[in-house]
């Protein structure tokens, strides 16, 4: 396979348009040059690593104690290696793409497609490239590895390739549900004392208003506090959720099911609590539709959920042009996935604190050198590509499985 990986044989123009009522306005016209560099892929391997969480994470859809990390290693003819990670959840509860089905689709459908055609890495997010609108986690995993390989060949960081500006990012942390409110409050205090400047609490019916009330009382009025429902509520809960307004939460994330757009619109129009969308938005088309409908005023852009780094950057450009608050969410990524998320989060249009915590928050040991937080911030890797690789002893462990899916 030969990949045209990017950047001066031709110039591409991007028009950023903003539609209001019946009028369309040209907000920005961007030009950039594209070099067509050929890369020959010699091998693709899937590396499966079992990873235990440092503590169980309880959300409205279950308790998560571990995850199986599936890494993608792409090697080219010159020996350069790019890494990606498939972070699809174990079940189908999140967006209908289970980890098992996602990996199977990579193996049987997407990898044969990837090695059978010439492609420019910056075009992998184009409509129809993968032949399906489904399996965004699988697309993201492979595309991330190609971006990493490309940046390593250029001897520059993924952050620089994408146009990121921040060298260090203020990060937040998620606090899951516990058996008692006291346990939630205690963990919030612990995370604040560790240096996190923003906390997001998982909520569900019966585990919401009083929890937020007590957490706010302990953290103080000015501490950044958010709540995430993972779609646990229905339209009957709208007035109940409006009570959150009394506790100065930045927003409620995904209060209703991903396809219950009317309820999101109804809550957002009341204007008492800002609505952030997560699962309801999986593409730039979804994003523009939800913004046009007024279903949300904040957006969580997860590169894995939207199908890749290229799509995440395109969505970033939309929210930036429209003046919409946005941030980068996480999916319990290991250091491989976290590194690429940090590169995306360094873009200037992400205006809110991301869910990209230090490695030890979730893992007893990360697959890569751990990401550490200092003064509430994590540094964006400066090295070539995503700036990290799996630890050699982990790759040599008997606990992992390595499958060569393609070899020239």
Q: Catalogue the active-site residues.
A: 202, 302
Instruction: Tell me which residue of 31, 44, 32, 33 sits closest to 3, measured CA to CA.
Output: 44
Neighbour tally for 391: CB within 10 Å: 16
Distance between CA 350 and CA 170 in Å, rounded? 11
DSSP string across 162-183: HT---SEEE--EEE---SSHHH
Contact 35, 18 (CB under 8 A): no
Query: 225-253 burial string, b = 16+ CB within 10 Å, else e?
Result: bbbbbbbbbeeebbeebeebeebebbbbb
Q: Where are the alpha helices (DSSP H) in 207-363?
A: 209-219, 238-241, 261-270, 284-293, 303-306, 309-322, 335-345
Is residue 272 within a helix (H) or strand (E), and if so which, with residue range? none
Distance between CA 164 and CA 141 in Å, rounded? 20
- Dihedral sign computed on CA atoms, order 155, 156, 158, 163: negative
Distance between CA 140 and CA 106 in Å, rounded? 10
Instruction: Tell me which residue of 126, 125, 121, 124 sits closest to 152, measured CA to CA.
Output: 121
Instruction: Tell me which residue of 205, 269, 1 sits closest to 119, measured CA to CA.
Output: 1
Cross-strand partners of 31 = 13
Cross-strand partners of 20 = 23
Contact 176, 202 (CB under 8 A): yes
Q: Can you state the angle between helices 136-153 and 309-322, rounded to 10 degrees? A: 90
Phi, psi of 120 (to 5 degrees): -90, 130
Distance between CA 51 and CA 362 in Å, rounded? 10
Contact 333, 357 (CB under 8 A): no
């Amino acid at each position: 396979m030969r990949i045209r990986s990017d950047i001066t044989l031709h110039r591409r123009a991007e028009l950023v348009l903003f539609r209001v009522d019946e009028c369309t306005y040209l907000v920005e016209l961007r030009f950039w040059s594209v070099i067509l560099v050929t890369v020959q892929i010699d091998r693709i391997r899937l590396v499966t690593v079992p990873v235990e969480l440092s503590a169980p994470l309880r959300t409205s859809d279950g308790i998560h104690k571990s995850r199986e990390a599936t890494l993608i290693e792409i090697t080219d003819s010159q020996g350069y290696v790019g890494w990606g990670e498939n972070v699809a959840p174990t079940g189908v509860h999140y967006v209908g793409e289970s980890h098992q089905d996602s990996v199977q689709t990579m193996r049987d459908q997407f990898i044969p497609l990837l090695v059978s055609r010439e492609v420019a890495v910056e075009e992998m997010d184009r409509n129809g490239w993968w032949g399906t609108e489904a399996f965004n986690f699988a697309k993201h995993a492979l595309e991330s590895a190609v971006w990493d390989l490309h940046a390593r060949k250029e001897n520059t960081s993924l952050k620089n390739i994408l146009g990121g500006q921040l060298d260090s990012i203020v990060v937040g942390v998620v606090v899951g549900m516990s058996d008692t409110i006291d346990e939630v409050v205690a963990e919030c205090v612990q995370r604040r004392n560790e240096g996190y400047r923003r906390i997001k609490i998982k909520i569900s019916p019966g585990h919401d208003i009083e929890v937020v009330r007590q957490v706010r009382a302990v953290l103080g009025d000015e501490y950044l506090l958010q709540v995430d429902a993972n779609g646990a509520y229905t339209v009957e809960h709208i007035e109940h959720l409006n009570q959150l307004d009394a506790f100065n939460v930045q927003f409620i994330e995904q209060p209703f099911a991903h396809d219950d757009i009317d309820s999101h619109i109804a809550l957002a129009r009341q204007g008492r609590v800002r609505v952030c969308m997560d699962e309801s938005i999986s593409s730039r088309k979804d994003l523009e539709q939800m913004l046009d409908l007024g279903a949300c005023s904040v957006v969580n852009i997860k590169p894995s959920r939207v199908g890749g780094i290229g799509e995440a950057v395109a969505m970033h450009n939309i929210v930036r042009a429209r003046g919409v608050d946005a941030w980068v969410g996480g999916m319990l990524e290991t250091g491989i996935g976290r590194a690429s998320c940090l590169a995306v989060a360094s873009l200037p249009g992400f205006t809110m604190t991301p869910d990209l915590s230090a490695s030890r928050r979730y893992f007893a040991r990360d697959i890569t050198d751990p990401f550490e937080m200092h003064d509430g911030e994590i540094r964006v890797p400066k090295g070539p590509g995503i700036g990290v690789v799996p630890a050699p002893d982990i790759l040599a462990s008997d606990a992992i499985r390595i499958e060569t899916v393609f070899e020239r």
